[in-house]
Amino acid sequence: MIFCQACGTTNREGSRFCNQCGARLSETADIACPRCGAPNAPDAPHCQKCGLDLARGRNDVWEGPLPRVEVPEEGTPEAPEQPRRRPEGVPLRRRPHGLPPWLDSAEQPEEASSELEAGALLPGEGELALERDEGEWSGEAIPIEPVVGVPYRARERPEQPPTPEEQKAADLFAAVSAEDVFASLQPGAEEEQSERAGRPETWLRVLVALTLLVAVIVPVLLRGGPLSAEGSVPAPVAAAARAIQQVPPGATVLVAFEYDAGLAGDLQPVAEAVIGEFLSRDLHILTVSTQPEGAALAEMALERVLRARGDAGARSRVVNLGYLTGGQAAIRALAVSIPSVIRSDWEGRPLAGNPAVAGLGGAGTLPLVVVLGRDLLAVQAWIEQLGAPFNTPLVAGVPALVEPALVPYQTAGRLQGVVGGLAGAAAFERLAGRPGVGVRSLAAVRAGAWAAGLLAITANIGFALGRLLRRRGP
Amino acid sequence: MLTWPTLPPPTVEGIGVTVAAVLTLAVLSAALGSNRVSRLAFAVLVGAAVGYATTLAWWLVLWPRIMRLVRDPLREWPLLVWFALGLLLVVRGLGAASAVSSVPLAFLVGVGVALAAAGAALGTGLPLALVPWPGYGAAVQPAWAKALNTLIVAIGTTGVLLRFAYTTGSQSRLGRLWGGLARNWGRIGYLFILIGFGTLFATAIISLVGVLVSRLQFLLVDWLLVVRG
């Protein structure tokens, strides 16, 4: 080891500059002690660390004169490094203990190992006390550096050509790195991309759009057709209908409108079907929403149902509580006490004195709460803040996309039933005996789904054939 | 009954329906590629949604509470605390003074996290974990179906997790056994992933077709009055 005189850092034998501070090492050509490796002044009679008699040149290993750790002066041409060979006649003493083979390979450069194995070379400059015993280095005779964290910096590695996979990955990385990520955000970028891709993409878009439009418009115009045949009622929808039937007449139920206008097409029919069933059972209805648009959608659904029923008196049994801020905290507060959270309805009329809310405590005590949620999180919030803590029966109305995600909650008993999308609304309307928007839309939904499925299959077959032809081509 | 297309009468509601129909057609035109009309419609919809939410928050949340405080300050004085916390949130963007907004933020985050954590544990985590337990949950399926369902869920869940086990252990006998198990069981998990994504794709199509149907019904029935009765 070589100690830096500037900062005291320990450096590997053969180092010319300090690993830590970069200072040139051994400016005074120190002599390394053959026993412990400590640096000593050239004229020191004894080793400063182990006390070995350096002046007499005696040591336990090498009987010859002590070599100097030569460091060329700055500005003088360096002599080419020559591997130092063990002088003839110098004995190698056997040591009972040596380093393990793995440490041997870790300590020595690969290119020198074969010659070291043969005993022809010394390991490096300044290492005087080399001892070998059947391929193992002696831990007593040479200074042992800590193995953990030995840097590889000083070791030159031959440059290996990249494999084809590595080259491919590097090319891809270079191509992606060279892309202008902001170009696609500029106006007209999509058109330019489409132009570069060629016209067929636009034609395909037109074809797909026209196919879907025709498939959907025809059943809408015909109000049904062969695809409007009644199917079996899904079990979650039947369970939802049973839960509604168990609510005693005259009771108050809550409907939460947790969706926005984007999903109104899929959820508004569910809302109208459920509200229609509540009104036909002489129930009082409260509607509320933690989404800004939900309150207006609730008002729209109520108006449509009341207009379709032609029952103006039913309006007194419906109260739109409006928009509630606060997310999950608002739901929990509503579950504890409705009057303390909401004091007026959607139109600003005070709730006090309204027969629909007379004597009501919290929403947690209601016999049923229907959550019309745009996604799983919206329904989860009501389950976790109202259904589970207060053991309130819950029914969910969700888009068809979300329906599978709610099956575990129904299995666990946290949801009494689920009405999923237009198809669910149609099944619910049939169960209730009042065909509405859901039934009228069912044939169009089925036709659109069939068309989309056939388009997807056709596109996949075309993609597979194209790839096959490209493989067979030149 | 099919009739010739007729525009709604020029009342406030009729004009609103026509504007909504034009915006609907503009959004649907995006199916043929992004264009100026569709981008304009998107901008109008996003802007209207933000403006609507802001207006709603003012008229339904802030204004009634301000009036309650003005009318009966002795009874409604707790509202002052909430107004003060709200004002502290407003100074969030005022440089050095923004530090005081940490108080209402801490209140909001603390209450929110406490509610969400407790609700998730009692409403989702625990009930769903107990579903495989015999006798727990709703009797929506017979016992054998529940057992089979639980088995499939267990196989699928572990398979999907093992699909993403990129390390195959050491070269010892145990390590090789684990590597083979992870590889082969992971293939089963891959099948589950494919089935899951296929199901999601199918349900997404049905959802979006439902939205398309509702929009076309709006155009044909509510706007052009093509279908009556």
Higher pLDDT, B39 or B1: B39
Q: Specify the higher pLDDT residue, A194 or A359.
A: A359
CA dist., res. A157 & res. A152, Å (int): 9
ipTM of the complex: 0.82
In this prediction, residue A130 carries a pLDDT of 43
User: Which chain B residue shows the shortest CA-CA distance from A403?
Assistant: B203
B180: nearest Cα among B206, B156, B193, B162: B162
Number of separate helices (H) and strands (E) present in chain B: 8, 0
Burial of B1 (0-12, 13-18, 19+ CB in 10 A): exposed
Q: Average pLDDT for residues A416-435, to the nearest whole number? A: 92
The structure tokens listed for B196 are 């899951």
Distances (CA, A) of A362 to A254, A256, A264, A334, A384: 11, 14, 28, 6, 16
Could you tell me which residues are beta bridge partners of residue A24?
A17
What pLDDT is stored for residue A107 in this prediction? 45
Read off the pLDDT band of A349 (50, 70, 90). confident
**Taking residues A214-225, what's their average pLDDT?**
83
pLDDT value, residue A108: 47
Check residue A393 and give its pLDDT. Answer: 95
pLDDT at B181 over 80: yes
Average pLDDT over residues A325-346: 91
pLDDT of residue A276: 94
Q: What is the least distance, in Å, from the CA of A401 to any CA of chain B? A: 5
Chain A neighbors of B56, CB-CB under 8 A:
292, 295, 323
How big is the CA angle at A31 (ends A25 and A34), to the nearest 5 degrees? 120
In this predicted structure, what is the pLDDT of residue A281?
A: 92
pLDDT of residue B44: 93
> Considering only CA atoms, which of A384, A351, A379, A158 is closest in space to residue A256?
A379
Q: Is B46's pLDDT higher than 60? A: yes
For residue A427, the model assigns a pLDDT of 93
Which residues in chain B have their CB less than 8 angstroms from residue A440's CB? 217
Q: Which of A190, A266, A414 sits opposite B127 (nearest CB)?
A: A414
- Chain B residues touching A325 at Cβ < 8 A: 57, 61
Whose structure tokens read 């060979």?
Answer: A85
Query: If pLDDT is split at 50, 70 and 90, which confidence band does B218 have?
Result: confident
Give residue A396's pLDDT band: very low, low, confident or very high (50, 70, 90): very high
The pLDDT, as a whole number, for residue B206 is 86
* Higher-pLDDT residue of A104, A374: A374
Res A267: pLDDT:
93
Instruction: Check A264 against B214: CB less than 8 A apart.
Output: yes
**Phi and psi based region of residue A135 (left: phi greater than 0; alpha: psi -120 to 50; beta: remaining):** left
CA distance A246 to B17: 39
Q: A-contacting residues of B 188-207, CB under 8 Å?
A: 199-207
Q: Which of B34, B115, B140 sits opposite A328 (nearest CB)?
A: B115
- Given a cut of 90, whether residue A271 has pLDDT beyond it is yes
Instruction: Indicate the residue type of A306.
Output: L
Q: Are A2 and A126 in contact (CB under 8 A)?
A: yes
- Mean pLDDT over B99-119 rounds to 90
Sequence-ordered alpha helix ranges (H) in B91-142? 102-119, 126-130
Share of chain B above pLDDT 70, in %: 95
Position A264 pLDDT exceeds 80: yes
In this predicted model, what pLDDT tens digit does every residue of A179-206 receive, in sequence order?
777 766 666 666 666 565 555 577 788 8
Grade residue A46 by pLDDT with cuts at 50, 70 and 90.
confident
CB contact under 8 A, B210 and A265: yes
Q: Which of residues 59-88 of B touch A (CB under 8 A)?
A: 60-61, 64
Average pLDDT over residues B8-37: 87
**Residue A207, pLDDT score:** 86
In terms of CA atoms, which chain B residue is nearest residue A263? B211
Residues forming beta bridges with residue A53, ordered by sequence position: A46
The predicted structure's pLDDT at residue A60: 44
| pLDDT top residue among A5 and A351 | A351
Residue among A51, A142, A71 at smallest CA distance from A103: A142
- Distance CA(A127)–CA(A32), nearest Å, equals 8
pLDDT of residue A143: 54
Lowest-confidence region among A118-127, A173-182, B83-92: A118-127
- Per-residue pLDDT tens over the stretch A293-328: 999 999 999 999 999 888 878 888 999 999 998 899
User: Which residues on B lie below 8 Å from A381 (Cβ)?
Assistant: 119
Residues of chain B with C-beta less than 8 angstroms from the C-beta of A383: 123-124
Quickly state the pLDDT bin for B176 (edges 50, 70, 90).
Answer: confident
- With a cut of 50, say whether residue A332 has pLDDT above it: yes
Confidence of residue B133 (pLDDT cuts 50, 70, 90): confident
Q: How far is B208 from chain A (nearest CA, A)?
A: 8
Determine what percent of chain A is predicted with pLDDT higher than 90.
32
Element (H, E) at A297: helix A294-309
Q: Is B227 on the interface with A (CB under 8 A)?
A: yes
Confidence of residue A90 (pLDDT cuts 50, 70, 90): low
Q: Which of residues 1-60 of B touch A (CB under 8 A)?
A: 2, 31-34, 39, 49, 52-53, 56-57, 60
B31 contacts A209? CB cut-off 8 A: yes
> What pLDDT, in 10s, does the model give residues A109-120?
444 444 444 444
pLDDT digits (tens, 9 = 90+) for A122-133: 444 444 444 444
- Residue A165: pLDDT band by 50, 70, 90 thresholds? confident
CB of B215 within 8 Å of any CB in chain A?
Answer: yes
User: For all residues of chain B together, what is the average pLDDT?
Assistant: 86
- Identify all chain A residues contacting B201, using CB atoms and an 8 Å cutoff: 456
> Cβ of B94 under 8 Å from any chain A Cβ?
no
Task: State mean pLDDT over A401-415.
Answer: 90
| pLDDT single digits (tens) A144-157 | 555 555 455 555 55
Contact B213 A444 (CB under 8 A): yes
Q: Are A443 and A224 in contact (CB under 8 A)?
A: yes
